[in-house]
Amino acid sequence: MNDLETSKTTKSFWQKPEGITGLLFLGALGFGLYSALPFLITLLQNTIYFGILLAVVGAMTFVALDPKFRTLVGYIYKTAMRSITGMFINLNPIAILETYIRDMQDSREDMNKQITNLRGQMQSLQQVITRNTSEKDLNLKRASKAKEVGQKDMVILSSRKVGRLEKSNMTLQTLYTKLEMLYRALAKMYETSGVVLEDTIDEVDVKKREQAALRAGTSAFRSAMKIISGDPDKKYMFDKAMENLVDDIGAKVGEMERFMELSAKVIASVDLDNAVYEEEGFAMLEKWQNEGTSILLGNEKPLLIAKAQDGAEILDLNAPVGVKKKNQYSEILK
């Protein structure tokens, strides 16, 4: 009975004063949570967004570090930029090469005219030097005879004329040496450009057929898939090779055109009638002489300069120009 009475009279936790406090605390906590519910929802959403963004950044970082993916992105970007630029500028390497071929053909025609003009000036210059030499020898004889008969005035006049003729010939010979260097360079460029032109025409003909075959069997999607798989795409490699070829031929054509401008200024600056020449054109020629190797002439540039300055190397102005000789392109057409 005592136990039963005790169990009936024992109060639960919630019936005790601390239980009431606990209920009040839970009520206050629930009210607080309810009041803070928008903040908690926002916090939870931001946490989820942060987790998603972190996963995306991680995935992007992983992909960005993949060399295949970088190659693919680069390929897509270059293709897009090429397409946009192609709306305004012709980027077809075959078409560009065909333009270079026409430019080279025109430059060679102009170069041939320049060589003919320069040859004429050099032959006239040789005649002046030869005439001065003959007059000098004649005046030396006159001075010798005048000295024998005691004609001092004639000795002085003839001697002074000999001195003027010698000085004139020194100036003219210096001029001839510079023109000879220009002539040798023009003749060698004309010869070499003929080989390059013939080889480029054949190269373009072959590349046209290769490009047509690649276009027929290659799509942008297939190229991209090959790049992703690490398989070198034939069209991509073809385009890279064509870019290098275009740059190479473009540099050669550019050098021809620049040298044509140089030679035109040199030829126009010479006044054989008055035995004078302007320094501007020859300053450009000297600058070219002191520059590095030529794209067209290669290692032959210093050799032809040395030949022009060597008195023992006699230049035959009557020799045909453009005959294929052994040079850096000799193996191309074999």
75 touches 222 (CB < 8 A) = no
Provide the β-strand partners of residue 270. 277
DSSP 10: P
| b/e sequence 130-149, b meaning 16+ C-beta within 10 Å | eebeebbeebeebbeebeee
Tokens of 269: 């600056």
State the DSSP code for 274.
T
> Which amino acid belongs to residue 68?
K
Angle between helices 234-269 and 93-149 (to 10 degrees): 30
Residue 79 half-sphere exposure toward CB, CA atoms < 13 A: 13
Gyration radius (Cα) of the chain, Å: 44
Residues composing the chain? 334
CA gap 203, 184 in Å, rounded: 28
pLDDT for the residue numbered 290: 85
Q: What's the pLDDT at 134?
A: 93
- What pTM, to 2 d.p., does this model score? 0.64
CATH class of 80-309: mainly alpha
Q: Which long-range contacts (CB under 8 A, 24 or more apart) does 79-82 make?
A: 79/220
Q: List the domain boundaries for the chain.
A: 17-79, 80-309
pLDDT of residue 148: 84
What's the sign of the alpha-carbon dihedral 310, 314, 315, 317? positive
Burial of 97 (0-12, 13-18, 19+ CB in 10 A): buried
User: Per residue of the chain (334 residues), what is the pLDDT tens digit?
Assistant: 444 444 445 666 656 566 667 666 667 777 666 676 777 678 778 888 888 888 877 767 765 666 655 555 665 666 566 666 555 445 578 888 888 899 889 989 999 999 998 999 889 889 989 999 999 999 889 888 888 888 888 888 888 998 999 998 888 888 888 889 889 989 988 998 898 899 989 988 888 887 777 665 555 555 555 554 545 555 666 677 788 888 888 888 888 888 888 888 888 887 766 666 777 788 888 888 888 788 888 888 888 888 888 877 888 888 887 665 555 555 444 4
Number of Cβ within a 10 Å radius of residue 182:
25
- In angstroms, the CA 44 to CA 33 distance is 14
SS3 category, 273? coil
**Residue 1 CB partners (closer than 8 Å, separation 6+):** none
